[in-house]
Amino acid sequence: MIRHFRIGSPIETESVVRQVAVEETEPGRIQEKLAQAVPGTKVLAADKALSFALGDGDIVYGLGETVRGMNKRGWLYQSNCSDDPYHLEEKHSLYAAQNFLLVTSKERSYGLYVDTPGLVTFDIGYTKQGEMRIALEDFDAELYLVTGEDCREIVREFRELIGPSYIPPKWAFGFGQSRWSYMTEDEVREVADRYQEAGVPLDSIYLDIDYMERYKDFTVDPEKFPEFSDFVREMKERGIHLIPIIDAGVKIEEGYPVYEEGKEKGYFCKKEDGTDLVAAVWPGRVHFPDFLRPEVREWFGNWYSFLLDQGIDGFWNDMNEPAIFYTEDHLNEVFEQIEDYKGKNLDIQSFFEFKGLVGTLDNNPEDYRRFYHDCHGKKVRHDKVHNLFGYNMTRAAGEAFERLSPDKKILMFSRSSYIGMHRYGGIWTGDNRSWWSHILLNLQQLPALNMCGFLYSGADTGGFSADCTEDLAMRWLGVSLFTPLFRNHAAMGTRRQEFYQFERTQDFRRLIELRYALVPYLYSEFRKAAEKNGMYIEPLLFAYPQDERARGIEDQVLVGESIMIAPVYVQNAAGRYVYLPEEMKLLRFRGWDDYDEEELGAGDHYVPARLNEVLVFLRKGKCLPLAKPAMHVSELREEEIRYLTYGDAAPEYTFYEE
Ligand code: GLC
């Protein structure tokens, strides 16, 4: 059941699709009603906060893409979409704002959605272990309380409220190779050739910012990609989709049609004085389209046809928090201030002030207060609706694809997001690093994303920043083989990490073949989750609610109805301990047709796993279909499916076709 309370006068986010009548708006009465449902709840209007009591046995799931574990207790999180490439435990925000929480104990469970586009702080037992305090910068929010029998029912109810999840084309479950950047047609060809020579399946190659002409959206550099549509066709004939990046900022350049049109129509975000904000990202000076306006979304969305018309059928939207290197106004202020330090003896205080001047130019909170949006005819300062920007950029694309390509699914995923965006695209989890801890973080983010509808997601496999090693890349497959988005991506300046760069290319090949063998299962489980508002990847507790031990398991998840995975994420480990809530069949895969099988009883087991081995556990009474791998998803054949079963499961499975 869903109950709807309104605090203050929140700005409409359009994240919810089902109308639920507002029960209460008066804080005192909201408190009364909330406290009846969740004893101990307080509405602290003076502190602009809500307070919930947390019992010892409560687990708090949710918040989508954030740092730390699946159980969010013990830290303070902020919904404040941030371009931050250091995903450290000490951070409070990443790229997304997904304000849904699921609190569960043996006695009761409830979900909570705080729908408000501004800054929200979730102190989940950080200040006081027994309290969850949700503080809003402005005390305006649509508040939804979701109750149900168990975690799955609460998620289902919530997802019905926010509408159906984005479903990508099936080929988007294939493997994708990316790097910032493959600079020319020939570099892209080389990636395709090398994978092909190594016999490794591949469905897509990503084009990062350098395919554009001086980083201008909806352009292609004619020197690096002279016959772009021919090249797109050539790659498609080889079974490979090219996926270009689109950035949020539009380069300011006379004669550049996107800029000229946006300027003429008044579609860019404006400052207090009515002039267009000048910020800077990759191309230097840019304007930001006001994606919160439907007509701006329609206009920007139509520009995707520039690439669609050349045969492109997938995109990734980036820098849409929006990331700001600097604003022109702030830069000028800094130049002036720097003058004052010239010739001075910089002491402890003045040196750090001086250093801070340049160091705090990018993504400065002050800059998010320098410009405005037109929200349903009202002028609203950006920071008040900050978390809606990336959502609406991707919505612009999603709405356009419905118009421009009604019969053909287009791949779309974004970096920044807010709940609601899950209807238009997936997300990737941004600029992680080639760190062992990020394999675990990757795993832990997925169930939280699923809860709020973001089913199509995955991390930069092998890590984006820092140098990747062969063992790290291989162990990462213990997670990535199962994520809907499976992409190897790395930053400029890092060691090359395409799988053919490493000595054990053939081990990688066999594991990627396993991914392709799994695609019919993974795709079907994904579709089931999307259509039934269920989870594709879920914490053990969802399936085993009575299991005391499952409550504390943070490094194993269920993938669809048949399997549990338990990746090895410690360098040089020769295996790991795995907890089985019930008896299961261990499948220790080295390749789709090369694996050990062992029946294991419920309880704890040490399970050895060599570097090229991926641990999968088949649930009792369930069946895992495996296709004969192919070089591309489109070549997988249903007639060639083998069924692995455990217990009395019939060797059959209902597949979802595209
Ligand atoms: C951002 C993206 C990253 C991309 C880079 C260059 O850092 O998160 O994936 O490679 O920009 O476009």
CB 354 near ligand 1, within 6 Å: no
pLDDT of 387 higher than 90: yes
Contacting residues for 639 by C-beta, under 8 A, at least 6 apart: none
Helix (H, G, I), strand (E, B) or coil at 599: strand
- Please give the structure tokens belonging to residue 550: 């499952």
- Please give the structure tokens belonging to residue 295: 């007509």
CB 58 near ligand 1, within 6 Å: no
CA triplet 152, 134, 162: central angle to 5 degrees?
Answer: 40
Give the CA count within 13 Å in the CB-facing half-sphere of 506: 0
Q: In whole angstroms, what is the distance from residue 530 CA to residue 600 CA?
A: 32
CB 208 near ligand 1, within 6 Å: yes
Q: Work out which ligand 1 atom sits closest to the CA atom of 179.
A: 10
Q: How confident is the model over 228-242, as a mean pLDDT?
A: 98
Point out the least confidently predicted range of 118-122, 218-222, 375-379, 599-603: 375-379
Q: In whole angstroms, what is the distance from residue 552 CA to residue 398 CA?
A: 38
Q: In whole angstroms, what is the distance from residue 358 CA to residue 332 CA?
A: 11
- As a residue count, the chain comes to 658
pLDDT of 638 higher than 90: no
Q: Work out which ligand 1 atom sits closest to the CA atom of 430.
A: 8
Question: pLDDT tens digits for 184-207?
Answer: 999 999 999 999 999 999 999 999
Pocket of ligand 1, candidates 177, 246, 318, 325: which has the most ligand atoms within 8 Å of its Cβ, to mutate? 318
Q: Work out which ligand 1 atom sits closest to the CA atom of 415.
A: 8
Give the pairing of strands 486-488 and 460-461: parallel
CB 430 near ligand 1, within 6 Å: yes
- Distance from the CA of 215 to the center of ligand 1, in angstroms? 12
C-alpha distances (whole Å) from 539 to each of 70, 152, 457, 555 are: 8, 11, 16, 9
- Distance from the CA of 431 to the center of ligand 1, in angstroms? 7
- Distance from the CA of 217 to the center of ligand 1, in angstroms? 14
Which residue has the least CA distance to atom 10 on ligand 1?
Answer: 180
Using the 8-state DSSP alphabet, how is residue 422 labeled?
Answer: G
- Distance from the CA of 443 to the center of ligand 1, in angstroms? 21
Question: pLDDT tens digits for 396-437?
Answer: 999 999 999 999 999 999 999 999 999 999 999 999 999 999
CB 655 near ligand 1, within 6 Å: no
Phi, psi of 611 (to 5 degrees): -55, -35
- Residue 483 has a pLDDT of 99
Amino acid, res. 465: S
- Distance from the CA of 318 to the center of ligand 1, in angstroms? 7
pLDDT of 450 higher than 90: yes
- Please give the structure tokens belonging to residue 129: 């272990």
Give the pairing of strands 426-428 and 457-458: parallel
CB 281 near ligand 1, within 6 Å: no
From its phi and psi, is residue 60 left (phi > 0), alpha (psi between -120 and 50) or beta? beta
Phi, psi of 403 (to 5 degrees): -80, -45
- Is 518 within 8 Å of 626 (Cβ atoms)? yes
Contacting residues for 386 by C-beta, under 8 A, at least 6 apart: 80, 81, 117, 118, 119, 321, 368
Pocket of ligand 1, candidates 245, 413, 460, 494: which has the most ligand atoms within 8 Å of its Cβ, to mutate? 245
Which residue has the least CA distance to atom 5 on ligand 1?
Answer: 180
CB 297 near ligand 1, within 6 Å: no
Q: In whole angstroms, what is the distance from residue 299 CA to residue 396 CA?
A: 8
Q: In whole angstroms, what is the distance from residue 245 CA to residue 188 CA?
A: 15
- Please give the structure tokens belonging to residue 607: 């399970």
Contacting residues for 402 by C-beta, under 8 A, at least 6 apart: none
- Distance from the CA of 67 to the center of ligand 1, in angstroms? 19
CB 180 near ligand 1, within 6 Å: yes
Q: How confident is the model over 569-578, as a mean pLDDT?
A: 98
Return the bridge partners of 244, or none. 207
- Distance from the CA of 179 to the center of ligand 1, in angstroms? 9
CB 210 near ligand 1, within 6 Å: no
pTM above 0.95, yes or no: yes
pLDDT of 169 higher than 90: yes
Radius of gyration of the chain (CA): 25
Q: What's the first-to-final CA gap in the chain, in angstroms?
A: 32
Q: How high does pLDDT run on average in the chain?
A: 97
- Residue 323 has a pLDDT of 98
C-alpha distances (whole Å) from 384 to each of 13, 100, 141, 288, 381 are: 11, 19, 12, 16, 6
- Distance from the CA of 212 to the center of ligand 1, in angstroms? 14
CB 209 near ligand 1, within 6 Å: yes
- Quick one: pLDDT band at residue 367, thresholds 50, 70, 90? very high
- Distance from the CA of 415 to the center of ligand 1, in angstroms? 9
Contacting residues for 66 by C-beta, under 8 A, at least 6 apart: 72, 77, 93, 94, 96, 445, 448
Question: pLDDT tens digits for 494-536?
Answer: 999 999 999 999 999 999 999 999 999 999 999 999 999 999 9
- Please give the structure tokens belonging to residue 314: 């997938």
- Residue 295 has a pLDDT of 98
Contacting residues for 10 by C-beta, under 8 A, at least 6 apart: 115, 116, 117, 140, 141, 142
Q: In whole angstroms, what is the distance from residue 585 CA to residue 598 CA?
A: 6
Nearest Cα neighbor of 83 from 93, 92, 95 is 95
CB 415 near ligand 1, within 6 Å: yes
Question: pLDDT tens digits for 116-167?
Answer: 999 999 999 999 999 999 999 999 999 999 999 999 999 999 999 999 999 9
Pocket of ligand 1, candidates 319, 362, 363, 434: which has the most ligand atoms within 8 Å of its Cβ, to mutate? 319
- Quick one: pLDDT band at residue 598, thresholds 50, 70, 90? very high
CA 653 to chain centre: 29
Give the pairing of strands 59-62 and 100-104: antiparallel
Return the bridge partners of 605, or none. 578
CB 431 near ligand 1, within 6 Å: yes
Helix 228-237 vs helix 185-198: crossing angle, to nearest 10: 0
Q: In whole angstroms, what is the distance from residue 274 CA to residue 290 CA?
A: 13
- Distance from the CA of 452 to the center of ligand 1, in angstroms? 24
Q: Is the dihedral of CA 296, 458, 135, 164 positive or negative?
A: positive
Q: Work out which ligand 1 atom sits closest to the CA atom of 492.
A: 10
Q: How confident is the model over 29-41, as a mean pLDDT?
A: 97
Q: In whole angstroms, what is the distance from residue 600 CA to residue 443 CA?
A: 23
Q: How confident is the model over 304-315, as a mean pLDDT?
A: 98
Helix (H, G, I), strand (E, B) or coil at 576: strand
Q: How confident is the model over 318-324, as a mean pLDDT?
A: 98
pLDDT of 639 higher than 90: no
Give the pairing of strands 378-381 and 250-251: unpaired
Nearest Cα neighbor of 135 from 69, 66, 53, 76 is 76
Helix (H, G, I), strand (E, B) or coil at 172: helix
Q: Work out which ligand 1 atom sits closest to the CA atom of 491.
A: 10
Amino acid, res. 10: P
Q: How many beta carbons lie within 10 A of that of residue 219, not counting itself?
A: 17
CB 245 near ligand 1, within 6 Å: yes
Determine what percent of the chain is predicted with pLDDT higher than 90: 99
Pocket of ligand 1, candidates 427, 464, 494: which has the most ligand atoms within 8 Å of its Cβ, to mutate? 464
Q: How many beta carbons lie within 10 A of that of residue 17, not counting itself?
A: 12
Q: How confident is the model over 357-384, as a mean pLDDT?
A: 95
Question: pLDDT tens digits for 79-88?
Answer: 999 999 999 9
Q: Work out which ligand 1 atom sits closest to the CA atom of 460.
A: 9
Pocket of ligand 1, candidates 179, 208, 210, 317: which has the most ligand atoms within 8 Å of its Cβ, to mutate? 208
- Distance from the CA of 471 to the center of ligand 1, in angstroms? 24
Which residue has the least CA distance to atom 7 on ligand 1?
Answer: 431
- Residue 111 has a pLDDT of 98
- Distance from the CA of 643 to the center of ligand 1, in angstroms? 40
